[in-house]
């Protein structure tokens, strides 16, 4: 099981986290076309390689984390707090 280096709690088992998904911007709900909105809802790049994603440390600090990870190797490049940008 991979370890995810939580910026608050240190390295923790991945089972402590909920995988939220690939990180992406929310379109403007006032002007988004159905195509744009559904790309936001359903279309994910799912690359075999580096990806920016969101994880939630539900059994730890309970913070949402911005993670840069390589899905092929599970190498984690960076983990920061989504709200404060805090990292360590």
Partner 1 sequence: MSDRTPPLARGPVAVDPGVVRDGWEVDARVATGPLTLSDESPLAKVHVRAPFDGASPAALGVGFGRAARADLGTGDVLVVGSGPGEWLVLGAPNTAGALRAAIEERLAGTGEFTTVLDLTHGRALLRLTGRDAATVLAAVCAIDLSDTVTPDGTALRSSLAAVVTDLVRDDQDQTASYLLHVERSSGQYLADALLDAGAPSRLEITGFRGLS
Partner 2 sequence: MSLLPLSRGTRGTRAIPDSARLGPQPGEVIDRGRSVPFTWNGAAHSAHPGDTIASALAAAGVRVFSRSYKYHRPRGLLTADYLDPGAFLQVGDEPNVRGAHRLVEPGMEVSSQNTWPSLRFDVKAVNQLAGRFLATGFYYKTFIKPEPLWPLYEKVLRRFVHAGTITPEVGAAYYDHRYAHPDVVVAGGGPAGMAAALAAARGGASVMLVEENHHLGGHLRYGDTADLAALAELRAQVAGQPGIEVLTDSVVTGRFDDNWIPVVQRGLPGVTERLIKARAKTLIVAPGLIERPYVFAGNDLPGVMLSTAVRRLINLYAVKPGQRAVVLTANPDGDAAVADLARAGVEIAAVLDPRRGDGVRAAHGHGGLRAVETGTGQRIEADLLVTATGWTAPTSLLNQSGDRPIYDPAAARFLPDPRRMPDNVLAAGGIVGDGTTAQLVEHAEAVGREAARRATSGPTPVSVPELKPAAHPELFSAGTGGFVDFCEDVSAKDITTAVAEGYDSVELVKRYTTVTMGPTQGKLETVNAVALVAAATGKSIAETGTTTWRPVYSPVTLGALAGRPHEPVRHSPMQPWHQRHGATPLVAGQWIRPEHYGDPAAEVRAVRGGVGIIDVTPIGKLDLQGPDVPQLLNLLYVNKWSKLPIGRVRYGVMCAEDGVVLDDGVTGRLGEHHYLMSTTSSGAATVWEWVENWLQTAHPDWRVHVTPVTTAYASINIAGPRSRDLLSRLTDVDLSSDGFGYMNVRRGTVAGVAECVLWRIGFTGELSYEIHVPASYGLHVWEQLMASGADLGVAPFGVEAQRILRLEKGHVIVGQDTDGLTQGFTAGLDGLIKLDKTDFVGLPELRWQHQRDEHPHLVGLRPLDGSVVPPEASQILDRSGGIAGRVTSSRMSPTLGRAIGLAQIDRDLAAVGTHVTVRLPDGRDITAEITDAVHVDPEGERQRV
Please give the residue ranges that form the binding site for partner 1 (CB under 8 A). 8-9, 12-13, 15-16, 58-63, 81, 84, 86
> According to CB under 8 A, which residues from 16 to 45 bind partner 2?
18, 20, 26, 29-30, 32, 34, 37, 40-41
d(CA 88, CA 81): 10
Nearest to 57 by CA among 1, 15, 21: 15
Q: Are strands 10-13 and 3-6 parallel, antiparallel or unpaired?
A: antiparallel
How many CB atoms sit inside 10 A of residue 7's CB?
20
User: Which of partner 2, partner 1, none does 26 bind, CB closer than 5 to 8 A by kind?
Assistant: partner 2
The contact set with partner 2 (CB under 8 A) reads 1-3, 11, 13, 18, 20, 26, 29-30, 32, 34, 37, 40-41, 54, 56, 58, 62-64, 74, 81-84
């Amino acid at each position: 099981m991979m370890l995810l280096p939580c910026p608050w709690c240190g390295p923790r088992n991945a089972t402590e986290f909920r995988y939220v998904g690939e990180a992406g911007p929310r379109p403007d709900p006032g002007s988004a076309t159905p195509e744009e909105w559904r790309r936001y809802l359903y279309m994910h790049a799912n690359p075999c390689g580096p990806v920016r994603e969101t994880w939630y440390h539900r059994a730890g600090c309970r913070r949402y984390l911005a993670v840069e990870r390589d899905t092929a190797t599970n190498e984690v490049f960076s983990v920061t707090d989504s709200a404060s940008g805090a990292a360590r």
